[in-house]
Amino acid sequence: YPPERIRNFSIIAHIDHGKSTLADRLLELTGVISKTGKNKQVLDKLKVERERGITVKAQSASMFYEHGGHKYLLNLIDTPGHVDFSYEVSRSLAACQGTILLVDAAQGIQAQTVANFYLAFGEGLAVVPMLNKVDLPTAEPARAAEQIESAFEIDASGVLHMSAKTGLGVDRVLPAVIEKIPPPGGRIDRPLRALLFDTWYDKYVGVVCLVAVKDGAIRKGCRIVSSHSKTRYEVAEVGIMHPEPTPTTSLQVGQVGYITCNMKSISEAHVGDTFYRDKEPVEALPGFVPAKSMVFAGVFPVDADEFDRLDESVQKLTLNDSSVSVHKETSAALGQGWRLGFLGTLHMDVFRQRLEEEYDANVLVTAPTVPYQIKYRDGRTQFIRTPADFPSAAAMQDAVEATLEPFVSATMIFPEQYMGAMLELCTVHRGEIQGHTFIDESRVMLKCRLPTAEIVTDFFDRLKSKSQGFASFDYEEAGYDASDLVKMEVLLNGEPVDALAAVMHRRTVAAAGRDMAQRLKGVIRRQLFDIIIQTAANGKIVARETVKQLRKNVTAKCYGGDVSRKMKLLNKQKEGKKRMKKFGKVELPQEAFLDVMTTS
């Protein structure tokens, strides 16, 4: 297949607009999978994807298709829609020349339609809009087309109408892809230049690399070099995803496919790397800007003995998800573990679930925090990864010029009648409204700058409930601003419990302090003396609770919190290993830490 008979394209859309369903129909139409009518999101291969009904991992599939008397090789990349996986989308787009922008004709443009459009537009890709779900009685294709024109300033007059569910109009999709998306560039007679854009770990063959061949060709047995590490490899296998790995004799210029080359360790596979042929060095491709972690969380093995095994699992999984950042961390309460950086809280949840399901791990994940920054008078800046890094009161006085917190630039799309509720929501969360536009006569697109810390908690749930589900939301990181940060400390009978400290904006301390004191009260067992729980910031007490001493004839207060999942984890912890921490005379059982520190 010469480049002019190849098309590399992806499907981008808001979550649930039908990307994966359209991918199923296209794979059926080209005979890659059989037409049983039972195929459901076949490219969503991970268990977590099937359970949650969302795509978290981009997958590629090659198809053969005849059009206008010619045979074409089409490579489709199905991508996630949710903002937390946008790094996955942007990497996949580097292997494509164009994309189908799929819009649900009943819902119209949503926040992630906008975000994904700009990702593709920024990469210089050809964007072909298409309207899906026209079978729904509530579909308003004319209105959706109008929104596409006004939001993106692209011509939507001849936009294709289809139903990925019923198959209506799906036969016109691939001809449109061939006609509207340009073929890959590059030349077969130039030295090999291949972009490594995804990797995963396979039990049997080890590290698998997904590559886009930009020039030349790659064959089994040829010797290649990594631009990143200058390590040499012999190619053991090349092939295409069809949709399972299927060996071929070579991957030629313009093609997307996989290679294996006996990489000894997982750390050798560097997403964004360029491979070239031994003794024929080429200029490396630009690669990818590393993902910027938006939230951090501590991850710890439930059983400390499992640390080494979990370490390997974390490495293997980050090979498949290069947007996770990893640092080792030791917590006084939870032992040895990691501080992992994620693109959002859904990303964090999915990572936890994948560790448990794909690697059979039992992990504790602490509540997420954002990367605050301290600017010192001597010009240094420091990231606050854990509250222990926060400067002391004295240092705050003498050495600190400013404390800063990260912000996001948010886009919300909703029907006009929710304007008041959405403005209020932004204000309550310390947001700054930046303006709004109408994308049709009754739908508003609102822009707002918000502290990242505000959106990692329940912002999304409140957005959905205040708009009866009609508002959609997307964000991108938008730098740092000076912010009045404090460290909230937790004291038990006057003794600080470092593991429970937290950094936050001064305005949120009162509520967080009360919440923490109440939750601790609920989980601390009565002892033979009163236990005073205090939360404090800047030397001032913000909340106080007392656990009354145990008196005769009163049975000990049983452990209270919502514990089903945590207790299951704890039961897996070997007997005799239960950790009890002492603070002064106060004993705090492991369950208490779990309850107040981890997310369930």
Q: Which position among 20, 252, 331, 573 is part of the footprint of ligand GDP (CB under 6 A)? A: 20
CA distance 159 to 142: 10
Tokens of 126: 């050809």
Give whichever of 163 and 345 is closer to ligand GDP, judged by the CB atom: 163
| Cβ 173 vs Cβ 162: under 8 Å | yes
- Taking the complex as a whole, how short is the minimal distance between the CB of residue 18 and ligand GDP, in angstroms? 3
Ligand-binding site membership of 284 (annotated): no
Residue appearing with tokens 């994904």 = 116
Would you tell me how many other CB atoms lie within 10 Å of the CB of residue 6? 22
Asked whether position 21 contacts ligand GDP by CB under 6 A, the answer is yes
Cβ at position 173, least distance to ligand GDP in Å: 12
CA separation for the pair 93, 258 (Å, rounded): 16
Binder of ligand GDP out of 6, 10, 12, 15 (CB under 6 A) = 15
- Does 132 belong to an annotated binding site? yes
18 is a contact residue toward ligand GDP (CB under 6 A): yes
Under DSSP, the state recorded for 76 is E
Are the CB atoms for 344 and 321 separated by under 8 Å?
Answer: no
From the list ligand GDP, Mg ion, none, partner contacted by residue 15 (C-beta under 5 to 8 A by kind) = ligand GDP
Q: What is the DSSP letter of 366?
A: B
- Please report how close the Cβ of residue 17 comes to ligand GDP at its closest, in angstroms: 5
**What's the Cα-to-Cα distance from 416 to each of 45, 127, 555, rounded to whole Å?**
38, 28, 57
Pick the stretch among 9-17, 68-76, 249-257, 452-460 that binds ligand GDP (CB under 6 A): 9-17
Does residue number 13 form part of the binding site for ligand GDP (CB under 6 A)? yes
The annotation status of 308 as a binding-site residue, yes or no, is: no
**Residue indicated by tokens 């794979």:** 27
Run of H or E residues at 555? none
The only residue of 52, 67, 143, 165 in contact with ligand GDP, by rule CB under 6 A: 165
The one among 7, 19, 429, 443 contacting ligand GDP by CB under 6 A: 19
The nearest distance, CB 15 to ligand GDP, in angstroms, is: 5
Instruction: Count Cα atoms within 13 angstroms, Cβ side, for 292.
Output: 12
Cβ pair 148, 212 in contact under 8 A = no
DSSP sequence for 154-210: ---TTPEE--TTT-TTGGGHHHHHHHHSPPP---TTSPPEEEEEEEEEETTTEEEEE
59 contributes a contact to ligand GDP by CB under 6 A: no
164 in contact with ligand GDP (CB under 6 A) = yes
39 is in an annotated binding site: no
In one letter, which amino acid is 210?
L
Q: Least Å distance between CB 370 and ligand GDP?
A: 27
In whole angstroms, the minimum distance from the beta carbon of 44 to Mg ion comes to 6
Interaction partner, residue 274 (ligand GDP, Mg ion, none; CB < 5-8 Å by kind): none
- Tell whether 81 is in a known binding site: yes
Helices 141-152 and 111-122: angle between axes, nearest 10 degrees: 50
Provide the residue count of the chain: 600
Check binding of 46 to ligand GDP (CB under 6 A). no
Does residue 60 belong to the site contacting ligand GDP (CB under 6 A)? no
Site for ligand GDP, residues 170 to 209, rule: CB under 6 A:
none
82 is in an annotated binding site: yes
The residue type at 145: A
Q: Is 13 annotated as a binding residue?
A: yes
18 is in an annotated binding site: yes
In the complex with ligand GDP, which residue's Cβ is closer, 20 or 386?
A: 20
One-letter amino acid identity for 103?
V
Among 5, 16, 307, 493, binds ligand GDP (CB under 6 A): 16
Query: Taking CB within 5 to 8 Å according to partner kind, which of ligand GDP, Mg ion, none is near residue 310?
Result: none
What does the radius of gyration of the chain's CA atoms come to, in whole angstroms?
27
- Only one of the segments 52-60, 182-190, 484-492, 584-592 lies at the binding site for ligand GDP (rule: CB under 6 A); that segment is 52-60
Q: Which is nearer to ligand GDP, 133 or 449 (CB)?
A: 133
557 lies in the site for ligand GDP, by CB under 6 A? no
CB of 165 to ligand GDP, least distance (A): 3
Residue 134 annotated in ligand binding: yes
> 581, exposed or middle or buried, with CB in 10 Å at 0-12, 13-18, 19+?
middle
- Binding residues for Mg ion, rule: CB under 5 A, are 19-20, 55
Residue 22 CB, shortest distance to Mg ion, in Å, is 9
Give the SS3 label for residue 426: helix
Binder to ligand GDP among 30, 59, 86, 163 (CB under 6 A)? 163
Report the relative pairing of strands 70-78 and 6-13 from DSSP bridges: parallel
Nearer Cβ to ligand GDP, position 25 or 220?
25
CA-CA distance, 327 to 383, in Å (whole number)? Answer: 13
What residues between 77 and 136 interact with ligand GDP by CB under 6 A?
Answer: 81, 132-133, 135-136
Span 382-411, contacts to ligand GDP by CB under 6 A: none
What does the DSSP assignment read for 58-75?
-EEEEEEEEETTEEEEEE
- DSSP output for 78-130: E---SGGGHHHHHHHHTT-SEEEEEEETTT---HHHHHHHHHHHHTT-EEEEE
Footprint on this chain of ligand GDP (rule: CB under 6 A)? 13, 15-21, 41, 53-55, 81, 132-133, 135-136, 163-165
Binding residue ranges: 13-20, 78-82, 132-135
* Binding-site residue set for GTP: 13-20, 78-82, 132-135
